[in-house]
């Protein structure tokens, strides 16, 4: 064999080169996030240093060309839409996960699971297109113009329900069989088994799924731009058109310059911090963040 002909010194040199190459690649890929945060900071620095972080929260309005940089209306719109979507999607998602495992006959449960996986992969721009042509006119019939906080909440619900369903399903699947069998042996009803044995045991995974779904909702951009009306105002009613933080970046980045552009990077920084805080909480809850 050729392998055994090679001297061991050339072999160990090859190994050293391999380690050096893969270590460089690994350092490179882990540096990407640092690079991203670095660039966000660099680009937002002009705004952070001259305008100051407080004014982004407390300025009365968002008129960057006139020197008003209040992000509060958009921040509150983002939070309202995400919280609303999580409130709607949590029962739907958890119920879907339970349905697949404990109520549906196997083929139907399988189809339902498969469609959840497919739905979670539908691109946000496609959901936005559907929202704009199906949901918005429907809302507009009762309360014109239709493009509103409510449309945003409903569209986000469609997008994050699969996340919650898939994560809760995985949490239910990872429970030991003994829990279910023990509950049956105690003569508990199906409702009691689920509500008092299985769901409490899986609550870490379910909560992690909800937090990840919330992070996805906060970070979602395209679908929200398409359905929520994009007027900068604090959401006072469900039917008000609103503009989320992400949508603001997507809409104004094309023409923003100077401190306007820098303040868009500030909102990007804010968004990243929010989303990562949610994801970190999710990892802590699910307890599976111990790679290596």
Assess 133 for contact with another protein (CB under 8 A): yes
User: Which range, of 167-175, 176-184, 201-209, 265-273, touches another protein by CB under 8 A?
Assistant: 265-273
Of residues 39-68, which lie at the interface with another protein (CB under 8 A)?
39-40, 42-43
- To the nearest whole angstrom, how small is the minimum distance from the Cβ of residue 236 to another protein? 25
Taking the CA atoms of residue 138, residue 139, residue 141 and residue 142 in that order, the dihedral angle to the nearest 10 degrees is 140
Assess 123 for contact with another protein (CB under 8 A): yes
Assess 226 for contact with another protein (CB under 8 A): yes
Residue of 48, 72, 130, 137 that binds another protein (CB under 8 A): 130
Q: How far apart are CA 78 and CA 72, in angstroms?
A: 10
Residue of 52, 91, 200, 258 that binds another protein (CB under 8 A): 91
Give CA angle at 185 (184, 186), nearest 5°.
Answer: 90
Q: Which residues of 215-252 are buried (b: 16+ CB within 10 A; e: fewer)?
A: bbbbbbbbbbbbbbbbebbebeebbbbbbbbbbbbebb
Residue of 65, 115, 174, 237 that binds another protein (CB under 8 A): 115
Of residues 164-183, which lie at the interface with another protein (CB under 8 A)?
165
Assess 145 for contact with another protein (CB under 8 A): no
Of the pair 149, 159, the CB lying nearest another protein is at: 159
Is the CB of residue 223 less than 8 Å from the CB of residue 128?
yes
- To the nearest whole angstrom, how small is the minimum distance from the Cβ of residue 264 to another protein? 7
Q: Where are the alpha helices (DSSP H) in the chain?
A: 2-5, 8-50, 53-58, 72-98, 106-121, 124-130, 136-142, 149-173, 177-185, 190-192, 199-201, 203-219, 222-227, 245-252, 258-286
User: Which range, of 49-57, 110-118, 145-153, 233-241, touches another protein by CB under 8 A?
Assistant: 110-118
Assess 23 for contact with another protein (CB under 8 A): yes
Tell me which residue has tokens 């699969």.
Answer: 162
H or E stretch including 63? strand 62-63
Residue of 204, 233, 260, 272 that binds another protein (CB under 8 A): 272
Of residues 148-167, which lie at the interface with another protein (CB under 8 A)?
158, 161, 165
């Amino acid at each position: 064999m050729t392998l055994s002909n090679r001297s061991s010194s050339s072999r160990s040199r090859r190994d050293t080169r391999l380690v050096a190459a893969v270590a460089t690649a690994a350092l490179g890929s882990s540096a990407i996030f640092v690079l991203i945060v670095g660039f966000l900071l660099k680009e937002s620095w002009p705004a952070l240093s001259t305008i100051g972080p407080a004014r982004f929260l407390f300025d009365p309005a968002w008129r960057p060309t006139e020197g008003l940089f209040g992000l509060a209306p958009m921040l509150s719109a983002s939070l309202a839409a995400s919280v609303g979507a999580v409130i709607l999607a949590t029962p739907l998602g958890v119920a879907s996960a339970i349905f697949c495992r404990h109520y549906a006959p196997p083929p139907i449960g399988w189809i339902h699971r498969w469609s959840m996986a497919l739905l979670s992969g539908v691109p946000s721009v496609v959901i936005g297109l559907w929202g704009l042509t199906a949901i918005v006119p429907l809302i507009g019939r009762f309360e014109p113009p239709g493009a509103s906080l409510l449309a945003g909440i409903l569209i986000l619900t469609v997008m994050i329900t699969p996340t919650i369903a898939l994560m809760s399903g995985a949490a239910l699947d990872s429970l030991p069989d003994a829990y279910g069998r023990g509950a049956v042996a105690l003569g508990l009803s199906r409702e009691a088994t689920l509500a008092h044995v299985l769901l409490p045991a899986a609550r870490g995974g379910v909560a992690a799924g909800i937090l990840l779904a919330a992070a996805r909702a906060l970070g979602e951009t395209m679908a929200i731009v398409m359905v929520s009306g994009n007027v900068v105002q604090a959401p006072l009613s469900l039917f008000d058109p609103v503009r989320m933080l992400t949508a603001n970046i997507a809409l104004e980045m094309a023409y923003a310059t100077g401190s306007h552009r820098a303040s868009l990077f500030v909102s990007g920084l804010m968004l990243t911090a929010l989303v990562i805080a949610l994801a970190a909480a999710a990892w802590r809850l699910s307890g599976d963040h111990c790679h290596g």
